[in-house]
Chains A and B, each alone.
Chain A
Amino acid sequence: MKTKRYLIPAAALLVAAFGVPAQADTLENLERERALALETLLSPDVSPAEREDRTALSRARLVDLERMVMRDDNLKGKNTPAVRTAFESYDLTFLVHASVERNRSLVDHWLEQVGVTTNSLMSARMGRR
């Protein structure tokens, strides 16, 4: 009886200690990595070969980070502006998965999502602002 009395709080403590693992801010990490990837893609100072190498590594990291965000239970129902915005635009947040899904290159997919398409570029007129 005495052992039972000590066992129950001990079990509860165990569940409390291991129930919710500590998490880094996965969404913040994803956004940082995505910003760096886009910087590489759009930077005019990087050679095509170097861009290809850097993008390949970035893409692999982004795949992991996108999955980590999606599997992060701490974000479930977390009604903050950052989380709301992230899930409002899936195609921009989960850039690699969305681009593969649509069978486009990363940069093409991103440009399309921000409203820059081949058609929009072709129909653009040069002018003075």
Chain B
Amino acid sequence: MAKRLLPTGSALVILAALAGPPGAWAATDPGAVTWNPVASERLVKLPGSYLRRAIDNDFAGSSLASEIRDVQGLMSLKAQTLADLQNAVEQSDGDLRVELQHQFLAEKREYLELASKHQDLRRQQMTVKQRLLRRLLGKLDRQEAANTPERAALIEKQEAARSRLEGTISQVDIKIFNNPTVGQSKYSKEYAKNVLAIERLVQAIKAHPMNEGSEIDGRPVTKKEYLRQLMAETEADLQIVDQEATVLGYMAKLIALDALALSDLLSDPTPGDGSDDDDGEETGITAAVDFFVAQ
């Protein structure tokens, strides 16, 4: 009966199909989905906390982000199917069990395809983000290089002049504008009025949550340091994606072994355990490891 449902030939075809690395199955068409952020002057000038949000928002609006969301949705649906099938396999026996095991294998293969595609997309996201951060850092470096010693000396002189002038303002006002023929100018009156309003607005801007300076663990840092921190975080995310590729590789190996076991079972219908134990590990796709280590 089992042979009718699943002939040995087709088991070998499954085995051959399942034996390849997960990357080879992935049907990602590179270049179809993109995220092209621009390292604009505006982005360089943004306060640290807002910079991260601006990058995230830009990404969220890209076709790459929507593809990642779609694949993620498909992965959770597939995980649900795998859970249902796993239960069905445990509760069935005989030919139906073999048929369900076959389906379970096929679904696991599709899950791996999706997981592999998801990884490729995330790797693309991290690579683009890192390139963007590198460009922003380069722009910041160039801006600093433009601040020559002569310019710095001029700014210093201007600041000294400003404080000298500020120190004499009231003295000048008393001496010049106390003269009844002159009176205070329109500029002086309007300026004094506006200064008050400006000070209140400046205080409101300083206190605004969207104007928070760059911080790492509550410690204020420079824009360059903040960008370097973002780059390190992105690099860490890339490393995690690479580590997950190893998990996928092990999953693929287990599917191949399961397919071999199923093929053995079909050629010799005495029930064998056919299970291979392997240690699954942590995070993300690791939630699906149970489907692969269990028979």
Closest chain B CB from A15 CB (angstroms): 8
Answer whether A66 and B158 are a contact pair too, CB < 8 Å, given A60-B176, A96-B172.
no
Chain A residue at smallest Cβ distance from B61: A5
Among B15-23, B111-119, B181-189, B280-288, the stretch in contact with A: B181-189
Chain B residue at smallest Cβ distance from A84: B154
In the complex, A83→B147 CA distance in Å? Answer: 16
Chain A residues within an 8 Å CB radius of B175: 100
List A residues 1-35 near B (Cβ within 8 Å): 4-5, 8, 12, 16
In the complex, the answer to whether A83 meets B154 with C-beta atoms within 8 Å is yes
A119 within 8 A of B: no
In the complex, A113→B34 CA distance in Å? Answer: 66
- B154: contacting residue among A53, A57, A67, A79, CB under 8 A: A79
B87 within 8 A of A: no
Among B160-168, B226-234, B241-249, the stretch in contact with A: B160-168
In the complex, the answer to whether B42 meets A16 with C-beta atoms within 8 Å is yes
Closest chain B CB from A23 CB (angstroms): 14
Chain A residues within an 8 Å CB radius of B203: none
Closest chain A CB from B176 CB (angstroms): 6
Interface residues on A, range: 20 to 34
Chain A residues within an 8 Å CB radius of B57: 4-5, 8
In the complex, the answer to whether B171 meets A101 with C-beta atoms within 8 Å is yes
In the complex, the answer to whether A66 meets B165 with C-beta atoms within 8 Å is yes
Chain B residue at smallest Cβ distance from A12: B42
Interface string of B136-147 (1 = CB under 8 A from A): 000000000001
In the complex, the answer to whether B165 meets A68 with C-beta atoms within 8 Å is no
Chain A residue at smallest Cβ distance from B179: A56
In the complex, the answer to whether A97 meets B158 with C-beta atoms within 8 Å is no
A108 within 8 A of B: no
Chain A residue at smallest Cβ distance from B152: A77
B157 within 8 A of A: yes
B91 within 8 A of A: no
A94 within 8 A of B: yes
Closest chain A CB from B51 CB (angstroms): 12
Chain B residues within an 8 Å CB radius of A68: 187
In the complex, the answer to whether A63 meets B157 with C-beta atoms within 8 Å is no
Closest chain B CB from A61 CB (angstroms): 8
Closest chain B CB from A52 CB (angstroms): 10
- B161: contacting residue among A60, A77, A90, CB under 8 A: A90
B150 within 8 A of A: yes
B155 within 8 A of A: yes
List B residues 3-55 near A (Cβ within 8 Å): 42, 54
Binding site for A on B (CB under 8 A): 42, 54, 57, 61, 147-148, 150-151, 154-155, 157-158, 161-162, 164-165, 167-169, 171-172, 175-177, 179, 181-182, 185, 187-188, 191
Binding site for B on A (CB under 8 A): 4-5, 8, 12, 16, 53, 56-57, 59-61, 63-64, 66-68, 70, 75-79, 83-84, 87-88, 90, 94, 96-98, 100-101
Given contacts A56-B182, A76-B158, A77-B155, 12 further A-B contacts (CB under 8 A): A4-B57, A5-B57, A12-B42, A60-B176, A63-B185, A76-B155, A79-B154, A83-B154, A88-B157, A97-B169, A97-B172, A100-B175
